[in-house]
Amino acid sequence: MGNKLVGYGAYLPSRIMTNADFERIMDTTDDWIVTRTGIRERHIARDDETVVDMATIAAQRALENANITIDDIDMVIVATTTPELDFPSVGVQVLGRLGATKSQPAFDVRGACTGYIYALHTARAFFTAGIHKRIMIIGAEKMSRFIDWTDRSTAVLFGDGAGALIFEHSTSSYSGIIDTVVMADGDGYEMLHGTENHKIIMNGPETYKRAVMSMPHAARYIMEHAGITADNVDWIIPHQANLRIIESCAARLDFPLDKILVTVDKHANTSGASGVLALAYGFESGMIRHGQLILYPAFGSGLTWGAALIRV
């Protein structure tokens, strides 16, 4: 059984922090940040604004976009690495906020920056098994909770936000989530991880090297499996961590730059929300149109990496 995309929604906190704002609080420059990362600004949540708040708004917008209510959803899967509470899951809290009454299941997946691909992979499995009819995927992160405001090497890289996508079962096997692949390497844990006191530890250059190998690897796997080439794909939306990584992946995959959707300049790295937010942004800005084929590679802490092929 196949599936199709029927709704999308996004939420970005209203507070925008520019590179100039960082120049005022640490030893950095707009020039360094733009040259090394492509990031110009990021949205930072209010202190009292939680991952559940952001996820709920994105979910509500996706429901409005699909013209359905939360009780039309059979399952909610949330990709997040930054929940305020260890339990219950963000997914269950979103159900509560939206007033769900059908006892539908909800849970979180923790795949860091690859989290939304892990969520898509999980949803595809449920559609293939024919168990659920309508699944909502949410990516929501408050990365600012983990920012060490004294560490210029990581503080400038991250942003907050949430995105939501709704998929519905369909008889077509060539729409919605067509294919997914997810991978992990536990030996890479030290390269990029969060600490118990909520700090990000990252070996930037080593992480960079793995990112530019892993995303093309997963993207190539998906294209070979689907029997397609770059010519068949309308957009590639790589995980939005660094513009140089994105451009390097595009070059390795022989994708022209005009097929690459870039949001890292405006949103920075929103980890598990990145690809979902980028897709919603692509629709809202009119760049992405229904029917287009999207290749979706991601890479993150774990190490984890993967890719999805989606016809929207």
DSSP type of residue 173: S
β 160-170/2-11 pair status: antiparallel
Q: In angstroms, what CA-CA distances link 165 with 110, 138, 217?
A: 17, 6, 25
- Told to check if 96 binds ligand UT7 by CB under 6 A, we report no
Stretch that binds ligand UT7, among 172-180, 182-190, 201-209, 251-259 (CB under 6 A): 201-209
Residue 289: strand, helix, or coil: coil
Could you tell me the smallest distance in angstroms from the CB atom of residue 206 to ligand UT7? Answer: 8
x/- contact string, 25-64, with ligand UT7 (CB under 6 A)? ---x---xx--xx---------------------------
Give the integer Cα–Cα distance in Å for 17 and 175. 37
- Which residue lies nearer to ligand UT7 by CB, 36 or 220? 36
Which residue has its beta carbon closest to ligand UT7?
Answer: 204
Which of 208, 220, 230, 283 contacts ligand UT7 by CB under 6 A? 208
Q: In angstroms, what CA-CA distances link 153 with 15, 149, 158?
A: 22, 10, 11
x/- contact string, 227-256, with ligand UT7 (CB under 6 A)? --------------xx--x-----------
113 is a catalytic site residue: yes
Closest CA to 162 of 72, 98, 90, 64: 90
Stretch that binds ligand UT7, among 95-103, 178-186, 203-211, 224-232 (CB under 6 A): 203-211
* Full DSSP string of 148-166: -TT-HHHHTTB-EEEEEEE
Could you tell me the smallest distance in angstroms from the CB atom of residue 114 to ligand UT7? Answer: 9
Task: Give how many residues touch ligand UT7 by CB under 6 A.
Answer: 20
Stretch that binds ligand UT7, among 54-62, 97-105, 151-159, 246-254 (CB under 6 A): 151-159
Give me the phi and psi of 293, to 5 degrees please.
-100, 125
Could you tell me the smallest distance in angstroms from the CB atom of residue 234 to ligand UT7? Answer: 24
- Told to check if 152 binds ligand UT7 by CB under 6 A, we report yes
Residue 301 token pair: 């802490």
- Which residue lies nearer to ligand UT7 by CB, 122 or 207? 207
Closest CA to 91 of 81, 103, 102, 105: 105
Give the active site residue among 3, 65, 113, 267. Answer: 113
Q: In angstroms, what CA-CA distances link 63 with 128, 138, 153, 216, 270?
A: 23, 12, 38, 33, 22
- Told to check if 205 binds ligand UT7 by CB under 6 A, we report yes
Residue 226: exposed, middle, or buried by beta-carbon count in 10 A (0-12, 13-18, 19+)?
A: middle
239 is a catalytic site residue: yes
Closest CA to 55 of 271, 273, 301, 278: 273
- Told to check if 204 binds ligand UT7 by CB under 6 A, we report yes
Could you tell me the smallest distance in angstroms from the CB atom of residue 215 to ligand UT7? Answer: 9
Could you tell me the smallest distance in angstroms from the CB atom of residue 52 to ligand UT7? Answer: 22
Residue 291: exposed, middle, or buried by beta-carbon count in 10 A (0-12, 13-18, 19+)?
A: exposed
- Told to check if 150 binds ligand UT7 by CB under 6 A, we report no
193 is a catalytic site residue: no
Give the integer Cα–Cα distance in Å for 264 and 220. 23
Q: Catalytic residues, which ones?
A: 113, 239, 269
* Residue ranges in contact with ligand UT7 by CB under 6 A: 28, 32-33, 36-37, 113, 152-153, 156, 204-205, 207-208, 211, 241-242, 245, 269, 299-300
